[in-house]
Structure 1
Amino acid sequence: MADYEAPVRAETAALAATPCSGGFAGAYPCSNVDLLSVLPLGSIGGGNGNSMWGWTDSSTGKEYIIFGRSTGASFIDVTVPTAPVYLGNLPSYNGTSSSWRDIKVYANHAYIGADSISSHGMQVFDLTRLRTVTTPQTFAADARYTGFGNSHTLAVNEQTGFIYAVGTNTCSGGVHMVNVQNPKVPVNAGCVSNDGYVHENQCVVYHGPDTAYTNHEICFNYNVDTLTIVDVTNKAAPVQLSRTGYVGVGYTHQGWLTGDHARLLMDDETDSDLPGTKTFIWNVSDLNAPVNTGVHVSPTIQATDHNLYIIGTKAYQASYRAGLRILDITGIASNSLSEIAYFDIYPASNNTGFNGAWNVYPFFASGTIAISGIEQGLVLVKHNPGAPVTTVWSDTFETATGWTVNPSGTDTATLGLWERGDPAATTSSGTKQLGTTVSGVNDLVTGRLAGSAAGDYDIDGGITSVRSPSVALPGSGVLKLNLSWYLAHGSNASSADYFRVSVVHSGGTTQLFNQAGAASNRNGAWTAGSWDLSAYAGQSVQILVQAADLSGASLLEAGVDDVTITRQ
């Protein structure tokens, strides 16, 4: 899968440290992220930018970025992030050019692979050489592994000393394992070749809830259309534990585990990104039967999400044209994520497309976050959280709090009206009404009973609406509406059908979100949504939820759970 298209050249000029204020740091849109510096491509070796990785010298505490470019890899001292220093370039093998380059670090050595170059192999560079560099140099590699030619990405397990190369011209496109415990003498350790092409992966010494595999080395592979989990403890005989597809698959790209190895977030590169950028949420507590439990849909961007990494309760996501997005994943177990910060290095657009932020590196102890820009070069930023997030109002629907069905007296639906209760599951060519809630026992659901057929209690005849009690919003701060929702329908639906969320305020009713139906099967899956209510600060508002069957006798179900309004 192509991760790149030729960029519109608009190289960024060097820019000094600039705080995020009023939604901008210089020309860059931002929220709770300050700009530290920008090193344009022309100042770090030229070409186009792609991936990168970081290294902290344990002897000196200094921080470095190894930055991938179409023509080589740049070495940059970012210890003082407001004044980074370019140290030099390691040219691509034989001067060949590649738009895809990937880098990982193990035991003070960088490992660099390149896609679309059949002779490149994997370059090995001893990073301790950087300690004595005072002027930019052209470097030579210390070694080169030739067990494969091209590679799409590299993963490293620093606990075991293995590199896992994927998308190579070996192993049937699967995982090519390399022992780098002797860092300058990589040794072929075998293949995982029974799962087709693998695009990216993460391999760990497992310490999650599935105790049958405690201390086993487990790879989580993203291979076009599935999440595949493989036990690679015995490199000579890897064991596939599961291969799991999911609703809404486009092109399975990359993902990352939570620290407890119980959950996982996944980026899908061509999942249409409509109505917003999607991040898939997985429960991987059972390695033999992982479950895609929900999808977080961004309420503000439709950009193509590329790579993400999880540290504690935060996910750091490179979303191409929308730059760095930081998500709070505290509620991941209930499929609830929320964006708490961003820094957009491609202000021209937040839509799909392959420009802007290729990768992010958030692992420095200093808090410096690096962003690799295809056109921009190296952008260094820092998360500035600002005010804490507090809950203004919430409802889990476990008790009656005053929601009103058909509040305006204009609803036209004859069946499947909104009600609070314990929903019964229904199926028809897949799950339609979810019998499970996000939390507790009850949710808001369109006709909670099942009946003898899936369509016995679904929405029929038109529109059904339900409105929350009045909520007094604070007079200041960033105010967000967050809720979990789903819309499910059969192939007899159409774009006339919908699920909508609106806010009723002193000036009228404003639609926040609309998910239209389509003439295709859509199964029920809890999805987390978040929308900005800051424009209504100081007012009393109500939340209006509507669902409509306007396609005749189409099968259509909807649900809502865990509604909160927060302030930051």
Structure 2
Amino acid sequence: MKKILPVLALFLATFSFAQTPCVNGMAGQYPCSGLDLLSRISLGTFGSDRGNDSWGWTDPLDGKEYALMGLGNGTAFVDITDPVNPVYLGKLPTHTDPSSWRDIKVYNDHAFIVSEAGGHGMQVFDLTRLRSVSNAPETFTEDAHYNGFGNAHNIVINEETGYAYAVGTVSFNGGPHFVNIQDPINPVGEGGFSNDYYCHDAQVVIYDGPDSDYTGREIFFGSNEDRISIVDVTDKNNPIGISNGFYGSVDYTHQGWLTEDKRYFIIGDELDEANSGFNTRTIIFDVTDLDNPVVHFEYEATVAAIDHNGYVKGNEFYLASYRAGLRVFDISDVEGENMVETKFFDTYPSSNSARFDGAWSVYPFFASGNIVISDINSGLFIVRDPLLGVNENTISNFAITPNPATDVVEVFSKVDPISTIEIFNVLGQKVMALNFGDSLSEKINISNLQSGMYVMKINSTTTKGLLID
């Protein structure tokens, strides 16, 4: 049985379902750097012909992680706690018609879903129902519905206040439509802001940035087609426009996200690559003075793909870049006008051209380090930094061979005696722990371990990646 596993692994990798490490720039058929493919679920499995947005939920009771993916005909819910073996739990069908656009956010263990489909409104789904799915995949029903608007392009939620902001509706000139969701299954409309035209996407925060004039206020950062729009939405009865930010060669201001210190707002223009000939262009606004946002610098990538949804986590910017897949950037020196691509996973390997295929969105906020990519054409991808986020010590006195291994792996030391060896699976669980004397080489029987990626820790100091066929 062991002898056929490499062939089986190659077969599965070809169809993008299997755990596949990024080796020599490829994870199976997918170009990559610094990100391993843990698994993929196809659109066919979801019973849909197209994908769109994605978000995530972590169950506060047990820490289980769930991916939420928008589809043409509904929303899929997937348990990714074991990212190598995700479980498709079921789908909430669209409230009205199918649509290419669907957006999902989470508050208080509930998912809130909007769509461009006519009359769709906002669906509310109690995510705690996912704990008791007994016959997956199920067809779910919504737990509540808000009909204060029909179609909406997007939904934004401020989890600190319990307000949802539907944008791109026919109400309020396409500006944010305020919905109180503090009681999730009884959403209540509370007005909106119509003084800055159509809003495509936004982020809303309780402001704790450098501009002390607005400390503690609820501030809306909108991407409004040809500008960024900053609005004080603290008083829902009297929202106040603060300022607009403009930049050159504008085609369509699509979406943006704040750095964690609130000093910069990183945005993408969705049409400038196709219409104006840029490579993937990212515009970084300095928003240290909310009354006067200014362009800090622009970053242009080496590929021509169109940028779509991007999110900041720590000092990294995660960008779903359509045909170029997921691109990850180090933004630790954004103040010095530096932005460096460090990792990528290309879900659309045939081309990086400026067309509307490939990665629609990314969700990088799981504590485990699992990263969800939703792809228009190919479904749901789960990727992760290799070695469970622990950098392999390549300048080391230890070596392991063979790698990949099947039944036995041998560990060599040039200088230091081997005292302990621990092996961890992709979930971070210790699956083997061994103690030794003063030998410079040890053979380890791994025949009882399943095929996949592991981390070997030697003498509690050195980590090595191990692939078992």
Q: The TM-score by the shorter chain falls in which range?
A: 0.7 to 0.9
Aligned to 2:403: none
- For structure 1, which runs of at least 5 residues remain unmatched after alignment? 1-11, 389-568
Aligned to 1:104: 105
Is contact 2:273–2:305 with CA below 8 Å preserved after alignment?
Answer: no
Aligned to 2:205: 204
2-structure distance, mates of 1:275, 1:111: 35
2-structure distance, mates of 1:100, 1:305: 16
Give SS of 1:181's match.
coil
Amino acid corresponding to residue 380 of structure 2 in structure 1: L
Please state how far the C-alpha of 1:52 moved relative to its aligned partner: 1.3
| 1:48 corresponds to 2:15 | no
Aligned to 1:161: 162
Counterpart pick for 1:20 among 10, 19, 22: 22
Aligned to 1:71: 73
- TM-superposition CA deviations, 1:243-271 (whole Å, max 9, x none): 12111211000000011111111011011
Amino acid corresponding to residue 138 of structure 1 in structure 2: T
Amino acid corresponding to residue 57 of structure 2 in structure 1: W
- For structure 2, which runs of at least 5 residues remain unmatched after alignment? 1-13, 394-469
2-structure distance, mates of 1:387, 1:78: 25
Please state how far the C-alpha of 1:189 moved relative to its aligned partner: 1.4
Amino acid corresponding to residue 209 of structure 2 in structure 1: G
Aligned to 1:250: 251
Amino acid corresponding to residue 285 of structure 2 in structure 1: W
2-structure distance, mates of 1:139, 1:376: 23
Aligned to 2:59: 57
2-structure distance, mates of 1:264, 1:173: 22
| 1:285 corresponds to 2:259 | no
| Mapping for residues 239-318 of structure 1, pairs under 5 Å | 239-272=240-273, 274-299=277-302, 301-318=303-320
Amino acid corresponding to residue 252 of structure 2 in structure 1: Y
| Mapping for residues 313-462 of structure 1, pairs under 5 Å | 313-384=315-386
Task: Give the length in aligned residue pairs.
Answer: 374
- TM-superposition CA deviations, 1:131-160 (whole Å, max 9, x none): 000221111000100000000010110000
- TM-superposition CA deviations, 1:189-210 (whole Å, max 9, x none): 1111001110000000000000
Is contact 1:13–1:40 with CA below 8 Å preserved after alignment?
Answer: no
Tell me the percent identity. Answer: 51
Give SS of 2:203's match.
strand
Please state how far the C-alpha of 1:25 moved relative to its aligned partner: 0.1
Give SS of 2:331's match.
strand
Q: Which runs of 4+ in 1 moved over 3 A?
A: 384-388
1-structure distance, mates of 2:392, 2:66: 30
Give SS of 1:43's match.
helix
Is contact 2:308–2:360 with CA below 8 Å preserved after alignment?
Answer: yes
Please state how far the C-alpha of 1:306 moved relative to its aligned partner: 0.2
- TM-superposition CA deviations, 1:433-479 (whole Å, max 9, x none): xxxxxxxxxxxxxxxxxxxxxxxxxxxxxxxxxxxxxxxxxxxxxxx
2-structure distance, mates of 1:200, 1:186: 20
2-structure distance, mates of 1:371, 1:355: 13
Amino acid corresponding to residue 197 of structure 1 in structure 2: Y
2-structure distance, mates of 1:318, 1:191: 29
Please state how far the C-alpha of 1:15 moved relative to its aligned partner: 1.8
Is contact 1:75–1:89 with CA below 8 Å preserved after alignment?
Answer: yes
Please state how far the C-alpha of 1:387 moved relative to its aligned partner: 7.2
Please state how far the C-alpha of 1:383 moved relative to its aligned partner: 2.1
Relative to total residues, which structure has the larger helix share, 1 or 2? 2
Aligned to 2:223: 222
| Mapping for residues 72-151 of structure 1, pairs under 5 Å | 72-94=74-96, 96-115=97-116, 117-135=117-135, 136-151=137-152
1-structure distance, mates of 2:131, 2:109: 11
Amino acid corresponding to residue 242 of structure 1 in structure 2: S
Please state how far the C-alpha of 1:118 moved relative to its aligned partner: 2.1
Q: Does 219-228 or 241-250 show the bigger shift? A: 241-250
Give SS of 1:272's match.
helix
- Normalising by structure 1, we get a TM-score of 0.65
Please state how far the C-alpha of 1:272 moved relative to its aligned partner: 2.3
- TM-superposition CA deviations, 1:227-250 (whole Å, max 9, x none): 110000001111111012111211
Is contact 1:165–1:176 with CA below 8 Å preserved after alignment?
Answer: yes
Aligned to 1:400: none
Is contact 1:45–1:89 with CA below 8 Å preserved after alignment?
Answer: no
Amino acid corresponding to residue 279 of structure 1 in structure 2: T
Aligned to 1:457: none
- Normalising by structure 2, we get a TM-score of 0.78
1-structure distance, mates of 2:298, 2:16: 37
| RMSD value, Cα | 1.3
Amino acid corresponding to residue 86 of structure 1 in structure 2: Y
